[in-house]
Structure 1
Amino acid sequence: MFNFIFRRALSSFGVLLVATFLIYLLVDFAIDPLEDLRASTAPNKEALIQARITALQLDVPAPVRYLGWLGGVAGCFVGKCDLGTAWTTNQDVMSILGSSLGVTLKLVLIATILAMLLGITVGVVSALRQYTGFDYTIIFISFLLYSLPSFWVAVLLKQWGAIGFNDFLADPTLSVGLVLGLSVLAGGIWQAVVAGDAKRRLIVFGSAFALNAAILWYISATGWLNNPSLGPVVIAITAAGAAFGLTALMAGLRNRKALYAALTTALLAAALWYPMQFAFVGATAWSIAGLTVAFVAAGFLIGWLFGGYDRAISMRVSALVGLLSFGLLFVDRVMQAWKPYFNSSAINGRPIATIGSETPGLKGSFWTTQLDSFTHLILPSTVLILVSFALYTRYSRASMLEVMNQDYVRTARAKGLTERVVLVRHAFRNALIPLATIIPLDFAGILGGAVITERIFGWRGMGTMFLSGLDKNEIEPVMAYVLVIGTVAIVANFIVDLLYAVLDPRIRVNA
C-alpha cells in the first residue's frame, strides 16, 4: 500500500507540474496586462507602461515567472502559501480563493450528492424494470436532460422555478384539475416502479393516487406553503417508513431485531421533537454537527442493544435511521423560520432567489440564514443536478444490467438466496465498480465546470474568480483556479483506485 501511494503521489505531482506550467504559458500568451495603458491618452503613458512592466515583472521570461509562482505554491507545504496578488485590486489571491472556494464547494457538494443518490437509485430501478414503460421513460428523460444546455435550463428555472413560483406563493391554492393531474402522474409512476400483475398495479396506483391527492388537498386548503412544518406526527411516520425501507434493503424484514432497532430509533427521534426545540436554541454549525453525531451514536447503541444473529447489520440500519431522523428534525426546524423569513423586508414575499448566494442585508437567527442559503441553492443546484442525474442514471442502469447477466448472479439465485440478497449483496455492489470511476471524476468536472452556472446565477465562486482574472488580465487568480481544479482531479483519480479495492476484493492496490 505504501509503495502504491508513493508511486501515485510522485506521478501525480509530475502531471500537476507539467499541466500548470503549460497553462501558465498559454494564459500568459493570451492575456495582456498592458491593454488598458496601450489605449490610454495620458501624457505619461510610456512611464506608466514601464512602471507596470516592472511591477508585474513582464520583462522577465514567462518560465522564470512560473518558477517564482511555483515557489509561492511550495510554501503551502509549510503553511506559508503565496499565490500572488490580483494587481488591479491589490488583493491577495489566497483571500480571494478562500471565499470563492467555500461558495463553490457548497454548491457542488450538494448537487453531486443529490444527483448521485437520485441517479443511481433511478438507474437501478430502471434496470430491474427493463423494457417496461418506466424504463423507456427514464431512458428518454436521461437523454433529454443530458443534451440540454445548462444556460438554457437556468433561464427556464429562473422564469418558472423562481419568478413563477414566487407569484404563486401570493395565493398558493391548487385547482382541482391540477391536484387530480398530479395524483394520476404519481400513481402512474409508483405502479410502474413497483410492477407486478394487473391487480397489484391497480392497488398501487389507487393508493398512490389517493395519498398524493390527500396531501395536495391539505397543502392547498391549509395554506401550508406559507407556513410549512413537519411536526412530530409526520416525522414519526416518515422515519418509520425509512426504518422499514432500510431494513428491507439492508437486512430483510425477516430480521426482526434489525427492524425493531430501526423502528425504536425512529420513534425515539419523533418523541424527542419537543425537547429538540430547546436544544436548537442558539444553534451553530458545530452544535448541529455534534447533535448529528449523537443521533448516529444513539442509533448504533440501540442496534447493539437489540443485537440479533447479525448485530452489525442492526447497528448499521439503526444508525442510518438515526441520521435520517435527525435530518427530518433539522428540516422541520428550518421550516419554522419560513414565516418570519418570508415576511421580512429583505425578502418581500419572494423567497426563491434568482441571483447571488445570500440575501444582502438580511438579519436573523442561525435558522434564518440556513433557510436563506437553501433558497439560494435551489436553482443553481437543480441545474447541476439535472445533467449529473442523467449521467448517473445511464451508467448505473447499464452497469446493473451487465451484472445481472453474470454467472455468479444466476448461481446465487440457484442456491436459493432471496432476491434481496441477490440484488443488494451480489449485483448492486459489483455494479458500483464502474460508477466508482465516474463519481469522483464527475465531482472534479462539476467543480471546474460550474463556471457557467455561477455566472448566470451571480454566485461569486471560483468560476467568477476565473472569469474575472481573464477579464482583468490577471494571471494569478486564473492559476489559483487551475491549481485547485488540477489537484482535485488528481485526488479524484487516486480515490477511484482505492474505491476499486474496497468494492472488489479481487483488486489489490499493491498488485
Structure 2
Amino acid sequence: MIKFILKRLGISFLVLLGGSLLMFYLTVSSGDPLQDYYESNDPNRDQIIASITQRLMLDQPWIARYWDWLTGVAGCIGPGVCDLGQNINGVEVGSLLGNAAVSTLRLVTLATVLAILVGITVGIVTAIRQYSGFDYVVTFLTFLFFSLPVFWAAVLLKEFGAIRYNDWIADPQISSVQAIVIGVVLAVILQAVLGGSWRRRLVTAGVTAVFVFAALTYFTSVGWWRAPALGIGIVAVVAIAAAVGLTAIFAGLGNRRVLYSTLTTVGVGLVAYYAVGPLLAEPNLLILLLLLAITIVVSLASGYFWGGYSSRRTAMGLSAVTGVIMGLLILLDRIVYAWAGFLGLKSRPISTIGSNTPNFRGDYWETILDNGTQLLLPTVLLTLISIASYSRYTRASMLETMNQDFVRTARSKGLSERVVIVKHAFRNALIPITTIVAFDFAALIGGAVITETVFGWKGMGELFRTGLDAVDPAPVMAFFLVTGLAAIVMNMLADIAYAFLDPRIRR
C-alpha cells in the first residue's frame, strides 16, 4: 500500500508540474499587462511601466519567468524561502492567498460535506424505492438542479433567500392560509418519502399537515421567529430519535446492548446540557474542541461498557456518532437562542454581498450567526448542484450492486433487508462514489469562481479572476496551486478509502 501511495504521489507531482507549466504559458500569452498603461496620460507612465516590467520580469522569456516562480514555490516544500511572487500592484501573493484560501475552503468544505450526506442518503432511498413516485420526483429535481445555470440560481437565492426574507423577518407573520398551504405541501412530500399503503399514506399526510399547521400558528402567535429557542425538550426528542434511528439502521433494534449504549450517551448529554452551560456562555475554539474530545471519550466509554464482547465495536462507533450529534444539538440550541440579539445588531440578517460584516460587534454566538448567515446562500447553491450528481451516482451504484450475486446470496441466507443493504450493498456501492467525491471537491473550488463573483466573496475565485483580467500570472498560479494540491490530496484519500472498503485493493 505504501509503495502504491508513493507511486501515485510521484505521478501526481509530474501531472502538477506539467499542468503548472501549461497554465503559466496560457496566462502570460493571454494579453499584455501593460496595455492600459500604454494608453495612459499619467505623467509617471514611464516609471510605472518600468516598475511593472521589473516586478513581473516582462523583459525575460516566459520560461525564465516560470522558472523563477517555480523556484519560489519549491521553497515552500523544502529548504529556502517560500515565495509565491508579487501581483501587478506589488502585493505579496502569499498574503493574499492565505485569506482567499481560508474563505474559499470554508465554503467548499461545508458544501461538500452537506452534499455527501444528503446526496448519498437520497440516492440510497431512491434506489431502494426504484420507480416509485418519490424516485420520479427526486429524479426530476436532481436533473433540474444539475442543469441550473449557477449565476441564475444565485440571483434567485439572493432575491428569495435574502431580500424577501429580510423584509419578512422585520415583521414575521404567517397567515392561516399560508400555514395550511405549507402543511399540505410538506404532507405530500413526507407521505411520498415514507411510502406504504394508501391508508398509511393518508394517515402520514394528515398527521403531518395538522402538526405543521399547529406549529406554524403557535410560533407566529408567540413571536418565535424573532426570539426562537429550542430548549431541553426539543434537544432530547431529536437526540433520542437520532439514537434510535442510528441503532435501527446499523445494528437493529433487537440489539439491546447497542440501543442502551446510544441512549445512555443521550442521557449523559442531557445532564451536560446544564453542566456545561456556564462554559458555553462565552466560549472560544479551544473550549469547544476540549468539550468535543470529552464527548467522544465519554461516548466511547458508554459503548465499551454496554457493548459486550460481540457488539462492543458497533456500540462504541454508534455511541460516538450519537454523542457528536448531541453536542451539535446543544451548540445549535445556543446559536438559536442568540438569534434575537443578533437581529438587534443586524436588522437584515441574510447578506447578499461579502463573507463577513465589516465592524460587526457581537458576542461569540452572534459572531457565529453573522459568519453563518454570510455563508448560507453560497453554500446552499454549491450544495444543490453537488447533491444532484451524488444522488444519481449513488442510485446507479446501489442498483448495480443490489443485482449482484453476493447480494442475492445474502438474501437467500435469510439476512434481514437492513443487513443486506447496509453491510453488503452499500459498502460495495461506495467505491465508485468515492471517486466522484475526490474529483468534485477540486471541481467545486473551480466552480466557486462564479459563485464568489455573484456573492462578492473575497476568495480564490476573485484572486483567479483579477489575476487573469490583469494578465498577472502570480495570482493565477496561486489558484492553480491550491486547486491542484486539493485534487491530489482528495485522490490520495480516495485511494486509501478504496483499500478500506475493499481489502483486495491492499494487495
Q: Please classify the TM superposition score into its range, dividing by the shorter chain length.
A: over 0.9
Q: Decide whether aligned partners of structure 1 residues 171 and 41 sit closer, same or farther in structure 2, where only a CA change above 3 A counts.
A: closer
After TM superposition, the structure 1 = structure 2 runs for residues 252-291 of structure 1, keeping only pairs within 5 Å, are 252-291=252-291
Paired residue type of 2:479: Y
Give the aligned partner of residue 201 of structure 1: 201
After TM superposition, the structure 1 = structure 2 runs for residues 22-421 of structure 1, keeping only pairs within 5 Å, are 22-42=22-42, 45-46=45-46, 48-78=48-78, 80-88=81-89, 90-308=90-308, 309-344=310-345, 347=346, 349-421=347-419
Tell me, in whole angstroms, the C-alpha distance in 1 between the residues paired with 2:151 and 2:479: 22
Paired residue type of 1:393: S
Q: Residue 52 of structure 1: CA displacement?
A: 3.4
- SS state of the match for residue 225, structure 1? coil
Tell me, in whole angstroms, the C-alpha distance in 2 between the residues paired with 1:161 and 1:185: 19
- SS state of the match for residue 504, structure 2? coil
Tell me, in whole angstroms, the C-alpha distance in 2 between the residues paired with 1:380 and 1:43: 44
Residues 31 and 470 of structure 1 are in contact (CA less than 8 Å); yes or no, is this contact kept in structure 2? no
Q: Decide whether aligned partners of structure 1 residues 212 and 267 sit closer, same or farther in structure 2, where only a CA change above 3 A counts.
A: farther
Q: Decide whether aligned partners of structure 1 residues 283 and 119 sit closer, same or farther in structure 2, where only a CA change above 3 A counts.
A: same
Q: Residue 263 of structure 1: CA displacement?
A: 1.2
Tell me, in whole angstroms, the C-alpha distance in 2 between the residues paired with 1:33 and 1:446: 29
Tell me, in whole angstroms, the C-alpha distance in 2 between the residues paired with 1:448 and 1:460: 14
Tell me, in whole angstroms, the C-alpha distance in 1 between the residues paired with 2:124 and 2:378: 26
Residues 249-298 of structure 1, C-alpha deviation per residue, up to 9 Å, x if partnerless? 11100011111111121122123222222011331122112211211221
Give the aligned partner of residue 476 of structure 2: 478
Residues 484-510 of structure 1, C-alpha deviation per residue, up to 9 Å, x if partnerless? 1111112222222222221122223xx
Q: Residue 311 of structure 1: CA displacement?
A: 1.0
- SS state of the match for residue 26, structure 1? helix
Residues 184 and 209 of structure 1 are in contact (CA less than 8 Å); yes or no, is this contact kept in structure 2? yes
Q: Decide whether aligned partners of structure 1 residues 269 and 45 sit closer, same or farther in structure 2, where only a CA change above 3 A counts.
A: closer
Give the aligned partner of residue 459 of structure 1: 457
More moved, 180-189 vs 149-158: 180-189
Give the aligned partner of residue 432 of structure 1: 430
- SS state of the match for residue 81, structure 1? coil
Residues 448-495 of structure 1, C-alpha deviation per residue, up to 9 Å, x if partnerless? 220010011111000011111122332111111111111111222222
Q: What TM-score do the two structures reach when normalised by structure 1? A: 0.96
Equivalent of 2:488, from 479, 490, 498?
Answer: 490
Q: Residue 174 of structure 1: CA displacement?
A: 1.2
- SS state of the match for residue 226, structure 1? coil
Residues 243 and 259 of structure 1 are in contact (CA less than 8 Å); yes or no, is this contact kept in structure 2? yes
CA RMSD of aligned residues (A): 1.6
More moved, 239-248 vs 45-54: 45-54
Paired residue type of 1:117: L
Tell me, in whole angstroms, the C-alpha distance in 2 between the residues paired with 1:461 and 1:47: 31
Residues 141-172 of structure 1, C-alpha deviation per residue, up to 9 Å, x if partnerless? 01111111111011011111111111111221
Residues 369-396 of structure 1, C-alpha deviation per residue, up to 9 Å, x if partnerless? 1110111111111110111011111111
- SS state of the match for residue 369, structure 2? helix
Tell me, in whole angstroms, the C-alpha distance in 2 between the residues paired with 1:503 and 1:31: 48
Residues 232 and 271 of structure 1 are in contact (CA less than 8 Å); yes or no, is this contact kept in structure 2? no
Q: Residue 70 of structure 1: CA displacement?
A: 0.5
Residues 366-424 of structure 1, C-alpha deviation per residue, up to 9 Å, x if partnerless? 11111101111111111101110111111111111111111111111110111110110
Paired residue type of 1:213: F
- SS state of the match for residue 78, structure 1? coil
Give the aligned partner of residue 441 of structure 2: 443
**Which sections of structure 1, spanning at least 5 residues, go unmatched?**
none
Task: Using the aligned pairs only, state the percent identity.
Answer: 47
Question: What is the aligned residue count?
Answer: 505
Residues 129 and 193 of structure 1 are in contact (CA less than 8 Å); yes or no, is this contact kept in structure 2? no
Tell me, in whole angstroms, the C-alpha distance in 2 between the residues paired with 1:51 and 1:147: 46
Q: Residue 204 of structure 1: CA displacement?
A: 2.4
Residues 401 and 429 of structure 2 are in contact (CA less than 8 Å); yes or no, is this contact kept in structure 1? yes
